[in-house]
Structure 1
Amino acid sequence: MATIEQRHRPTVTDMARDVQLAEVLARLPGEERAQACRERLRDYIQLLADPAQTQVRCMPASRARDVAEQSIRYARRLPADGRHGDPGACLALLAGAVRHLMQYAGTPR
């Protein structure tokens, strides 16, 4: 499987579009359509996790920082953990994780 660096580098618009698509696909039947979106969301998590962590480390110590750090740790585990169970729920969780990482990384939406 090609890494995200070997494929085209996604833009913020690509990521936001796929988050919206995932939210729609999560409510619909059709596993094959959702699979490609799920894989892109997993790639985005890998792409965004380090920049998000860098930004969060610059936040002053607070409850907000603790929540952000916990969200990033959860997002890093989600691609591996989310391969089992309800595909729609997995898609929704991946979309939410990408949305949060985009916010923490400071990417415009």
Structure 2
Amino acid sequence: MEPPRKAQGKPQTSTRYKEKFNTLRETYTRATATRANHEKNLQSAGVIMKRLQDEIDMLLEALMDAAAQEEIQIQMPMPVTPPPAMNGHGHGNSHSAPPPARHEDPRLSQHAVIK
């Protein structure tokens, strides 16, 4: 058996370093582009977050104003209208006849029952 021959010319190590350098350069370029993309997305997310916070603040102010108005209305209640006349069936339909009037005999109210 013959011992393995060494390649003549430039040593193999220099090409490996070039390949490694080019691979690392590509990785660096991708990482830099990814970072720039993430920073851009972060800025746009910050703008969206500020806009949403402004909207939340506006809605909270509207709720507080509505609660204050409701509190004022509770302190100064609106006049209540009386319920419609009941027809004996649990509802007051305007198209139904009114209940018959009760007339008591005046003679009955004068006599009291004594035990």
Per the normalisation by structure 2, the TM-score is 0.23
State which structure, 1 or 2, has the greater radius of gyration over its C-alpha atoms.
2
Bigger RCO (CA 8 Å, 6+ sep): 1
Greater helix proportion = 1
